[in-house]
């Protein structure tokens, strides 16, 4: 889901010009993205001069715990391999 950082947007309208879906409009001088109309092509994000458009990724706590746990296991595996290599050397 794309969002606009209103602190960075200065209302140039470039994102409106490049949007193939007509999903961006200016509201009180700031870009606003209609998430229902957006097809996530990222054209607006790529053209925005100050980088005011960003992708917001929602991470749920349960998914985050699983990801962290998986990364820990991989890190332990890599450390174990390094330890074995160091011991052999
Ligand atoms: S291109 Fe960026 S700065 Fe320009 S109106 Fe869109 S979001 Fe705002
Ligand atoms: S990602 Fe594409 S479709 Fe969505 S608002 Fe930006 S330019 Fe429009």
Q: What proportion of the chain, given as a percentage, has pLDDT over 90?
A: 92
Name the closest ligand to CA 30.
1
- Centre of ligand 2 to C-alpha 27, Å, is 16
User: Residue 58: is its pLDDT beyond 90?
Assistant: no
> Given phi > 0 = left and psi -120 to 50 = alpha, else beta, which region is 28?
left
Domain extents in the chain = 1-58, 59-89
CATH architecture entry for 1-58: 2-Layer Sandwich (3.30)
- 48 pocket-lining for ligand 2 (C-beta < 6 Å): no
Q: What is the mean pLDDT of residues 9-23?
A: 97
* 75 token code pair: 């890190």
In this predicted structure, what is the pLDDT of residue 16?
A: 98
Tell me the C-alpha to C-alpha distance, in Å, between residue 33 and each of 5, 6, 10, 46, 49: 11, 12, 15, 14, 16
- 19 pocket-lining for ligand 2 (C-beta < 6 Å): yes
CA–CA separation, 2 and 39 (whole Å): 10
């Amino acid at each position: 889901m794309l969002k606009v950082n209103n602190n960075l947007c200065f209302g140039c309208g470039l994102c409106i010009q490049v949007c193939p879906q007509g999903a961006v409009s200016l509201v009180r001088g700031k870009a606003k993205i209609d998430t229902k109309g957006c097809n996530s092509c990222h054209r607006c994000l790529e053209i925005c001069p100050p980088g005011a458009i960003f992708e917001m990724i929602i991470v749920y706590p349960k998914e985050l715990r699983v990801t962290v746990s998986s990364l820990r296991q991989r890190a332990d595996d890599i450390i174990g391999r390094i330890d074995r290599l160091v011991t052999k050397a």
